[in-house]
Structure 1
Amino acid sequence: MLDDVLVRTFSHIFDSIEEGVIVTDRHGKIIFYNSEMAKLEELVSENVVGKYLTEVYDAVTLESSEHLTAVLTGETVLEKNKTYFTNKGKEVNIVASTYPVIENSEVIAVYSVCKDITKFKELLTKTMQFQDQIGSDGRQRDNGTRYTFESINFVSSAMQEMVVSAKKAAVADGFILVFGETGTGKELLVQAIHNYSSRKKEPFVAINCAAIPETLLESILFGTAKGAFTGAIESKGLFQQAGNGTLFLDELNSLNSALQAKLLRVLQEKMVRRVGGTVEIPVHCRVISSTNVDPWEAVNNGILRKDLFYRLAVITLYVPPLKDRQEDIEALIHYFMKKYQRIYGLRNVSMNDKLKDVFMRYQWPGNVRELEHIIESAMNMLDGRKVITIDHLPHYLKSKFLRQDGTISEFYKKGSGTLAHALRETETQVLREALKNHHGNITKAAESIGIARQNLQYRMKKLGIEV
């Protein structure tokens, strides 16, 4: 009785998830097939369960079936990109992980968890074909950017120094690694570097490495040869599409170790080989990368390969978070208010002093991006009024600033800053101790507390610490 309840419960659970699930016994007979898998393959569960893999799918062999391989080897196969056909002629594109179930050292069953990537693959193919058509028609085209150094709004000395360094880096034309928290404007800076460099008339191609499934990233970066997998066409990767321009690898730290190794090979040899191809193609683009964590910390934690870090970090640029450059907050408030007044056809909108003071004391975990989105949201909530107040803020932020009785929280009242002061004192103490333990050697002190040398230098200047 209990076993029946468990079976029904697990069947209900697996039917409610968004991934396809298929289970076979050790002989390849299908014993479970959830509703998402049926939807993905356009088959009926009742017509699948009880049949063998060879009866449901075309050309099932030991080489092509992870289920059969797992039965023989007892090994897990993770995140494999597969294209295959059902016996009804339906083409299926999935990313699947296959797991053996082992009892008494024998495989008794195998199950796969599958994600549908058909639409994503179609969109990617069309996009890459479209980009090729644009580039081959002989007409002048935009370089793919929107920003220059004039687009960066700041008044702080920290940002001024960073922009000066960025302009020098742009002219130097070497590899650049930009790091900073999410929302600080790393891509804006990278586009500005491209437009300040000798490559400004060439393409700017960007990819967020964290936004693309790992199994597709290799073909996107390096391209594919015809027949590399079922349905594969001859297509250029981003290295080729960038031509003599700039390839921007955003969130580099999200790449797995195997792909980092392949990327390092391309950078060292300046040659790329398409997935499934045999021909080496020269690479001429400049590569700029970014991380949303301290890169040296990522290296120490095994997230970023040390050899790849040293290859890409010929020049490093640190974009400080908004909380560490308070002077820029007011300048950005004015800039975004002007921008959205123009977009929404508003005039003479201002922000009351009480809210402005709260903004100056807020930590801005989402950085410049959060500030911009909040101002845009507040503009939409004005209802014809001319002054933005706390009442116009999103609920999640309003609840942080206000007590239950509607008064402003003590932390955000002018002159309080108790938590900020305590954090500053603690950070100062940690940095002084690290520098003392390493006799003032900034490089060793930075390594000991897991941050980059450039980051430590910035923090020292901000906190008034001298060696």
Structure 2
Amino acid sequence: MPRDVMDQVFRHLFNSIDEGVIVTDPEGKIIFYNSEMAKLEELLSEHVVGKYLNEVYDAVTVESSEHLSVVLTREPVLEKHKTYFTNKGKEVTIIASTFPVIEDDEVVAVYSVCKDITKFKELLTKTMQLHDQIGLEGQENRSSNGTRYTFESIVYASPAMQNLVASAKKAAVADGFILVFGETGTGKELLVQAIHNHSARKNEPFVAINCAAIPETLLESILFGTAKGAFTGAVDSKGLFQQAGNGTLFLDELNCMSIALQAKILRVVQERMVRRVGGTMEIPVHCRVISSTNVDPWESVNNGSLRKDLFYRLAVMTLFIPPLKDRAEDIEALIHWFLNRYQKIYGLGEVQIAAELKDIFLRYLWPGNVRELEHIIESAMNMLDGRKVITVDHLPHYLRAKFLSQDGTFSEFYKKGSSTLSHVLREVEKQVLWEALKSHDWNITRAAESIGIARQNLQYRMKKLGMHNS
């Protein structure tokens, strides 16, 4: 393909993406500037291309410009947060990655891929100010600690949950770091709130954050706070470590946090000191940290999504919440509890669930766990049309399709008395565990590591399957 055609293709490609792209030569002359970058900086490409960086932007130096520094270091700069001004006075806040282009061992060009986070920055400032305001209000009204649940809120009938609650109460009193793990929807935050309200910190704040739900560019500032001038518009704001005070900070889905940020979390929990983003002062923190993962934490360590040193630091005590499919006794108890709750909310009077549907629920594997069961019952109640018995016809379509065959009858697995699949799954699981234990001379720790699960998880499954070294 001719060079001029290739140039047109690349220009079209870079002008069609959502990120800003700017390319300079080794001297800092701009040789390409895409339409998204022009939109972001409110400049015209024809007024930028051919000019040097210091002609377009204010205060350009080797120290402040990634393009100039990359020419010298020959190393990329990844995910750099940056606020700057154009020569027209436009303030721009971006996250940019800058890369050298090397030919014959020489840097021939440098390019940056930039994402506009101005709105994220504004959201961060407002969020931190709001958190500070809430924190001050909380000092005036200590009875409201930010929780909704206690151990009395946990509905269960199974021995597994009974043992879990007993262990959680002991962990609450012990006041050390706790790591909770369980599948999505098993009720990790409910358990953590109950622990907080059973501890000596119950009159102090409970602060929770889902590490998977916050953009990485904001998470550090939200956790550690910001110092005035850290970026344009930044104010002195307390992070969640400070806002938790002498209470509890809950880091939900810890394994979804970047490894770099995990290293900073490790430093805070080890030193019990925090430094705000852009600040130099070390500020003491006093909160208890409870964290959670939605997968086996040892699996997260093995696949590199969770630092091993952070795992050992935060997993002083570990609590495993079994999936709902492994505690059938709780399914019936939860059904009755949710029925009672939502019939009061919707003013429906006494509502029941058909016996055949209850039997199906006891056989269903519940991939969404307790949360899925609750949503299904609430949904079914909205579909009753004055009737008082929930049947399979009131269920969401995706569930009816699972439970019913094409002829409208129940599929074989959900017929009463059919346990073929569950029996097979149980036997396969038992065989895998047996082989792991046997090959490691019944050393539970080594056996658990060999199959990628935690020791506590293996002990629970051995007890459930009736396995022992005889």
**Structure 2 length as normaliser, TM-score?**
0.91
Report the Cα distance in structure 2 between the residues aligned to 1:364 and 1:111, rounded to whole angstroms. Answer: 49
Q: Tell me, which stretches of 5 or more residues in structure 1 are unaligned?
A: none
Count residues in correspondence: 467
Alignment partner of 1:119 is 2:115: no
Distance 1:344 1:250 in 2: 32
1:94 matched to 2:88? The reply is no
Deviations 1:139-195 (A, max 9, x none): 214211111111111111111100010011111111111111111111111011001
Q: Which amino acid aligns with 1:292?
A: N
Q: Secondary structure at the match of 2:209?
A: strand
Structure 2: segments with no counterpart, 5+ residues: none
Query: Once structures 1 and 2 are overlaid, which stretch shifts more, 296-305 or 247-256?
Result: 296-305
Q: Report the alpha carbon displacement of residue 73 of structure 1 after superposing the two structures with TM.
A: 2.9
What does residue 139 of structure 1 align with?
140
Q: Give the aligned partner of residue 219 of structure 2.
A: 217
For residues 85-141 of structure 1, give each alpha carbon's deviation from its aligned partner in whole angstroms, at most 9, with x where no partner exists: 223322222222223333333333333333332222222222222232343365214
CA change 1:17–1:149 in 2 (3 A) is: farther
Match of residue 251 from structure 1: 253
Distance in structure 2 (CA, Å) of the matches to 1:375 and 1:100: 57
Percent identical among aligned pairs is 80
Identify if the C-alpha distance between structure 1 residues 460 and 229 changes in structure 2 by more than 3 Å, giving closer, same or farther. same
In structure 2, the CA distance between the partners of 1:101 and 1:406, relative to structure 1 (3 Å rule), is farther
Distance 2:374 2:313 in 1: 34
| Structure 2 CA distance for partners of 1:366 and 1:6, relative to 1, 3 Å | farther
Contact 2:242 2:285 (C-alpha < 8 Å) held by counterparts: yes
Note if contact 1:20-1:36 (Cα within 8 Å) is conserved in structure 2: yes
Per-residue Cα deviation, 1:281-308 (whole angstroms, up to 9, x for no partner):
2211111111112112222333322222
* Contact 1:71–1:100 (Cα < 8 Å) also in 2: yes
Matched, 1:151 2:150: no
Once the two structures are TM-superposed, the CA of residue 5 in structure 1 deviates from its matched residue by 6.0
For 1:186, the aligned partner's letter is K
Q: Could you tell me how far apart the structure 2 residues matched to 1:344 and 1:402 are?
A: 28
Counterparts of 2:87 and 2:237, CA distance in 1? 29
Cα separation, partners in 2 of 1:94 and 1:377, compared to 1, 3 Å: farther
Q: Secondary structure at the match of 2:62?
A: coil
Change (3 A) 1:448 1:342: same
Does 444-453 or 377-386 show the bigger shift? Answer: 377-386
Question: Is the Cα–Cα contact under 8 Å of residues 57 and 85 in structure 1 kept in the other structure?
Answer: yes
Once the two structures are TM-superposed, the CA of residue 77 in structure 1 deviates from its matched residue by 1.8
Residue 63 (structure 1) aligned with residue 69 (structure 2) = no
Q: Map of 1:287-436 to 2, 5 A cutoff? A: 287-436=289-438
Q: 1:413 to 1:31 in 2, by over 3 A?
A: farther
Whether 1:166 and 2:207 are equivalent positions in the alignment is no
One-letter amino acid of the counterpart of residue 40, structure 1? L
- CA distance, structure 2, for counterparts of residue 32 and residue 330 of structure 1: 65
State the alpha-carbon separation in 2 of the partners of residues 406 and 27 from structure 1. 73
| 1:348 maps to amino acid | E
Aligned-partner SS, 1:23 = strand
CA offset at residue 35 of structure 1? 4.2
Could you tell which deviates more after superposition, 446-455 or 219-228? 219-228
- In the alignment, the residues of structure 1 paired with residue 425 and residue 286 of structure 2 have an alpha-carbon distance, to the nearest angstrom, of 46
SS in structure 1 of the partner of residue 217 of structure 2: helix
Moved more, 407-416 or 25-34: 25-34
CA RMSD of aligned residues (A): 2.4
Aligned to 2:105: 105
CA distance in 2, matches of 1:25, 1:392: 65
Letter paired with 1:140: N
